[in-house]
Amino acid sequence: MSRPIQPICPSRRGFLASMGLGAALFGTRGLMAEELSKGRIATPEMTEGPYYPDKMPLDTDNDLLIINDSITPAVGEISWVSGSVIDASGQPIRNATIEIWQCDSKSSYIHSRGRNANGEDGNFQGYGRYQTDSTGRYQFRTIKPVSYELNGMFRAPHIHFAVSRNGRRIFTTQMMVKGHADNARDHVLGEIADAAARQTILVDFLPVPGSKLGELTAKFDLIIGRTLEEGDDHKLLGGIGKAGSRGFGGPPGRGMVRPGGGAGGSPPPPGERPPPPR
């Protein structure tokens, strides 16, 4: 069972400022969801892939670097992934459960058929959940994704995302690394025919200002191309902790820590972990 985790930064405000998000999104909330949607193109739906966890990890919070009370963090480039989930009318999708999942630094998933021959990082959670707030925002701490070849299939770096409401899946997509050389080889990305839509899932991983650990931040807004009414379950299969439609591409993931947490190989200072799930 996942438990509340404490902020890694001395203050929540300091963490947000360091990510370039600031009070406009989490404090004063002066930036409305409507402004986020202006001129935006709907995020394309993408395959869930074959490696959505077939057995849930013991810890499913929004910090994928630390499992429960472990003092040994996962190996990889610490990355703070955050964004907003909004519908076609610009309204925030509140209290939605965001799941992410991805392979570890050794290119292994937490799936019985998703283990790479090079082994796995047993300190990487691999999957996490987070509930969006009143402005539709979410956030995770994880590692920058890496390329892999599993079971004869190659994929460029990506993180799977699934959005559920009322326990039912309403949206599935993937986030990929903008400018990565392996993107040209990725057939899942290549299946998105519309160039503008393709750009919406390509995200910059930028240095966190002042970080001594080389932490990165990535902002990924999910714009669902239809208006959702309260109670709308859509027609997708699956739900929280349950696989939906299958297909190549890799599995979907909750948890989090603040800048200042330990990189792979060095534990974070005492008391420095992500904000509690809501």
- pLDDT tens string 18-29: 444 433 333 333
Residue 122 covered by a domain: yes
Residue 98 covered by a domain: yes
What is the residue whose two structure tokens read 């990890």?
Answer: 57
Q: What does the alpha-carbon distance between residue 257 and residue 122 come to, in Å, rounded to a whole number?
A: 18
- Specify whether the CB–CB gap between 64 and 175 falls below 8 A: no
State yes or no: pLDDT of 36 exceeds 70. no
List the structure tokens of 33.
Answer: 């969801």
- Specify whether the CB–CB gap between 147 and 139 falls below 8 A: no
- Residue 151, helix vs strand vs coil: coil
Indicate the DSSP class of residue 63.
Answer: B
Indicate the DSSP class of residue 245.
Answer: S
Residue 29 covered by a domain: yes
Residue 96 covered by a domain: yes
- pLDDT tens string 78-117: 999 999 999 988 899 999 999 999 999 999 999 999 998 8
What's the mean per-residue pLDDT of the chain? 78
The range of the structural domain enclosing residue 133 comes to 12-223
pLDDT of residue 95: 96
pLDDT of residue 209: 95
pLDDT of residue 118: 87
Residue 119 covered by a domain: yes
Q: What does the alpha-carbon distance between residue 228 and residue 176 come to, in Å, rounded to a whole number?
A: 26
- pLDDT tens string 228-270: 654 454 444 455 666 664 433 333 333 333 333 333 333 344 3
Residue 93 covered by a domain: yes
* CATH number of the domain bearing residue 139: 2.60.130.10
Residue 194 covered by a domain: yes
pLDDT of residue 226: 72
State yes or no: pLDDT of 213 exceeds 50. yes
pLDDT of residue 88: 86
pLDDT of residue 269: 40
Q: Which residue has the higher pLDDT, 247 or 148?
A: 148
Q: What does the alpha-carbon distance between residue 96 and residue 84 come to, in Å, rounded to a whole number?
A: 11
Query: How many distinct structural domains can be found in the chain?
Result: 1
Q: Which residue has the higher pLDDT, 58 or 265?
A: 58
196 forms bridges with which residues in the sheet? Answer: none
Residue 94 covered by a domain: yes
Region 218-223 average pLDDT: 97
**Least confident residue range of 33-47, 48-62, 92-106, 212-226:** 33-47
